[in-house]
Amino acid sequence: MSRMAIRYTPEDCAHLLSAVRTQQPLIQCLTNAVVTNFTANVLLALGAAPAMVDIPGEAAEFAPVASGVLVNLGTPTQSQRAAMVEAAEAARAAGTPWVLDPVAVGALSVRTAAARTLADLGPAIIRGNASEIMALAGAGTGGRGVDSTDTPAAAEAAARSLATATGAAVAVSGARDLVFGADGTGVGIANGHVLLTRVTGGGCALGAVMAAFLAVTPDAVLAAAAATGTYTVAAERAARLASGPGSFAVALLDELAAVAPGDVAAALRLQALAPAALQQQGAL
C-alpha cells in the first residue's frame, strides 16, 4: 500500500457487486467470435443479462435499451465494425455507458483505425493489456497478437495520457491490474491468477463485466476497479479448485456465481497510485 490515502475501498467494490446482483443489468455485447459463448456465460454467472446484438441496424436500436455496452475488436468484420460505430453513437446519444476493448491494436491496421474512431465516441472505460493501451495511446506498436509484450507498469504513462485525452477510465490488465481516471485517480488491483491467461476469453470477458458494473454506478474508475477486483478474486478462488485450464474455466464460472460481496471485501487488495505529477516530484 502506498502512503497515499486510497480513494476506493474493497467495501466500495463489494457494494457494487451487490448492486449488479440486485439490478441484473442488460449488457449488449459486440464482441469477437472466439469468446462470445464464454462472455455470455460470465455475465450470467455474475448475475447480469447478456445480449449479443451486433449487426448493423439492430446494434443502434438496442444500445439505448441496454444498461451497458461492450465493444470488443477481437474479430472485426466489416459488418461488425459498422455495427460497433452505430452502437457507440447510439449509446452516447442515449447516455448508455459503454466499454471499448481494443484487442490486438497496433500492428494490425484495420482494427487500429477502428479503435481510434471508437475512442473518439465517448467510451466510459477503455480496457486492454499493456501493449494494446500503449498502441492506442500512440506510444507503442502493439504486442504479439492478442498477447502483451509490455508490463502494466511500462504502460502507466500511456494509460494516463489516454485517460486524459479521451475522458475515459483506462484499465490496464496484467499481473497487477491498473486503472486510471482522467482526473488523475489511480488504483492498482493486486489479485488474480496466471490461469486467466490460459483460457480463451479471460480478458475479453472482463470487458463485459466492466460494462455490467458501469451500469450500476456513474463512477467509471470505481466500476473498472470493482469489476476487476470481483473477477480476479473469483479467479483466485477458482484456481484453488482447478487442475488446469479446462477445469479452471468451469470453476471460474462457478466462483463468479458463488463469490459474495463479503468475500470480495475480505480478499480484494487495492493500492492507491500517485498522480503523475507527484511521482515526478518523488512524493512517494
Is position 156 within any domain?
A: yes
What is the overall mean pLDDT for the chain?
90
Position 151 scores a pLDDT of: 74
Radius of gyration of the chain (CA): 17
pLDDT for 279 equals 46
By residue range, what is the domain housing residue 35? 10-279
Q: Flag whether 174 is marked binding.
A: no
Q: Is residue 2 part of a domain?
A: no
* 3 state DSSP class of 176: coil
pLDDT tens profile 198-216 = 998 899 999 999 999 999 9
Query: What is the Cα–Cα distance from 213 to 202, expressed in whole angstroms?
Result: 17
For residue 282, the model assigns a pLDDT of 40
Q: How far apart are CA 284 and CA 278, in angstroms?
A: 7
For 6-39, the pLDDT digits (tens) are 689 999 999 999 999 999 999 999 999 999 999 9
Cell of 79: 459488418
CATH number at residue 134: 3.40.1190.20
Strands (E), 115-166: 125-129
Tell me if 67 is assigned to some domain.
Answer: yes
182 belongs to a structural domain:
yes
User: What is the SS3 assignment for 235-284?
Assistant: HHHHHHHCCCHHHHHHHHHHHHHHCCHHHHHHHCCEEECCCHHHHHCCCC
pLDDT of residue 138: 84
Question: What count of other Cβ atoms lies within 10 Å of the Cβ of residue 227?
Answer: 30
127 known member of a binding site: yes
User: SS3 of 103, please?
Assistant: coil
Least confident of 70-74, 141-145, 159-163: 141-145
Is residue 162 domain-resident? yes
Residue 284 within a domain:
no
The confidence score (pLDDT) of residue 274 equals 74
The answer on whether 111 is annotated among ligand-binding residues is no
Give CA separation, 6 vs 18, 137, 185, 206, in Å: 21, 26, 10, 23
Give pLDDT, residue 104. 82
Q: What is the pLDDT of residues 102-153, one digit of tens each?
A: 998 887 889 899 999 999 999 999 999 988 999 898 875 555 554 556 677 8
Does residue 275 contact residue 186 with C-beta atoms inside 8 Å?
yes
Count of structural domains, the chain: 1
Q: Is 106 a domain residue?
A: yes
Residues 179-211: b if buried by 16+ CB within 10 A, e if exposed = bbbbeebbbbbebbbebbbebebbbbbbbbbbb
Q: Is residue 82 part of a domain?
A: yes
Mean pLDDT of 219-240: 97
